Amino acid sequence: MTKPILEISKIVTQFQAPKKFLSPAAPPVTAVNEVSFDLAEGEVLGLVGESGCGKSTLAKTVLGLYREAAGDITLQGREVSGVDPRQARRLRKDIQYVHQDPGAALDPWWRVGGILDEGLRIYGVNDGKERERRIDEMLEAVGLAASFKRRYPHELSGGQQRRIGLARTLILNPRIIILDEPTSGLDLSVQATVLQLMRDIRDRFGLTYLFISHDLSVVRRMCDRVAIMYLGRIVELGKTEDVFAGPRHPYTQALLDAAPSLKAGQLERAEMITGDPPSVRKVPPGCAFNTRCKYAVEACAAHVPSSETVEGRSVRCLRWREIAADMKAAPAS
């Protein structure tokens, strides 16, 4: 990998609950807690975790929609953190976002051509012919004909809406694209088409992806590295093939065990993670996963584990060495 295009260091994102009349102010809720990672140019980094773990909040903090309470964000060697959201979005214009629900992100009263034209106007492209040329080029890049400019969002299928969302992002010439659940709600055949399109676009335009997904099979296929999040923290980060072949954090192992799979034409029984994720308002002391972890001991509830990096893999677990040894010694199923 080349020099990082994006560097995230100990980012914290908090939200303040509204104050009730004659009641003391509630403490802020920490949705992202000291998250650090680098993103190399041309890389696809997967971000995985259960709903509510902070994936989308982290992505919107990187984008500048949310303001970080602490930590540093460096984009192409330039510090872009510590400013108000409006200025942050201006400084981070090389980062763009593809929404999880493309239909909801497209104005139902505007035709596709107008939706794409709006972004170019906002970014200062005043020549009408140049805007028209770039719109046609982006539609062609995502596999749609120029005639789609005259359609409304409700006239498009889910896969076509995803393509329009990609076109609206690409038309602004970003360096980094954040893809939030880009295949959710799509048929398997459409998923495959959209994923291949994302690969082709990445190669054609030299893009870097931050890829948020619940689907482990998609992450395994698309991502160079994967980061596993739990209650606002990254608990494991490493090359995708290494993490899938030998998870070091018990939460990563639990996610992989919970994913259904087929063997010899039969659906294997998935091993579910016990219990529900704790609320971000009441994070358990020590390791946040200790209340659901089958490997937890007394020390896990007493100490917050720090992130330890060995051979390019980082893991946040007090007992990861013992767990990794147990996994290695366990007979293959």
What's the angle, vertex CA 184, arms to CA 178 and CA 189, rounded to 5? 110
Long-range contacts of range 47-50, CB-CB < 8 Å, 24 or more positions apart?
47/210, 47/211, 47/212, 47/213, 47/226, 47/227, 47/229, 48/213, 48/214, 48/216, 48/219, 48/226, 48/227, 48/228, 48/229, 48/255, 49/228, 49/229, 49/230, 49/255, 50/214, 50/230, 50/277
pLDDT at residue 317, rounded to an integer: 92
Q: What pTM, to 2 d.p., does this model score?
A: 0.88
pLDDT at residue 125, rounded to an integer: 83
* CATH 3.40.50.300-classified regions of the chain: 4-17+27-94+174-329
pLDDT at residue 182, rounded to an integer: 85
Low-confidence ranges of the chain (pLDDT < 70): 1-2, 260-272, 328-333
User: Which amino acid makes up residue 56?
Assistant: S
pLDDT at residue 333, rounded to an integer: 45
Strand partners, 8: 37, 73
> What is the pLDDT of the chain when averaged over all its residues?
86
Question: Which residue from 274, 278, 238, 242 is spatially nearest to 258, judged by alpha carbons?
Answer: 274
Question: Which residue from 113, 122, 202 is spatially nearest to 152, judged by alpha carbons?
Answer: 113
pLDDT at residue 207, rounded to an integer: 93
Pairing of strands 78-79, 208-212: unpaired
Per-residue tokens: 160: 């076509």
CA distance 135 to 111: 13
Pairing of strands 225-230, 233-239: antiparallel
pLDDT at residue 2, rounded to an integer: 66
| Topology, domain 4-17+27-94+174-329 | Rossmann fold (3.40.50)
